[in-house]
Amino acid sequence: MRALSFAFGLLMVAAATVQSDGSALAVSAAAFVAVVLGIASRMAATFAVVAAAVALALSSPSPVVAMIAGLAATAYLVLRHARGGDAAMALTAPTVLGALGLSVVAVLGAAVPAVLPWVPLVAPLAVVVIYLAVIAPFVS
């Protein structure tokens, strides 16, 4: 499973690097080194995801590229932090469908032009409310 998690880590770094230049490239290089070090250390794997997120923030990529990087980062961390390296237990249908569904919603949300000045203030609250509504059946 380490090989599969390593592949997702490389995909994450590649997606974060596609539209990068300048300082974002340097952060992407640090993310690549952290992915390589992540083979032996889970902490390095987590740092790799944070570095890839910083590279994405510095490069302002398209929403689809950010979605690919985010999905790869999710799979990378889930596989890397799975107990005993058991990917069958880590990548369950709810995990995959949840990541895909929320990624599609995020891309669709980024595709809709927000011309109302109050939308950025309401959007985080709406995300929290939707999240709570989704997890409500699973919380006792």
Q: What is the mean pLDDT of residues 79-94?
A: 75
Question: How confident is residue 86, by pLDDT bands cut at 50, 70 and 90?
Answer: low
Alpha carbon separation from 99 to 27, 59, 93, 120, 122 (Å, rounded) = 25, 23, 10, 23, 23
Q: Which residue has the tokens 């069958």?
A: 88
**What region, left, alpha or beta, does residue 22 occupy, with left being phi > 0 and alpha being psi -120 to 50 degrees?**
left
Asked if the model's pLDDT at residue 35 lies above 80, the reply is yes
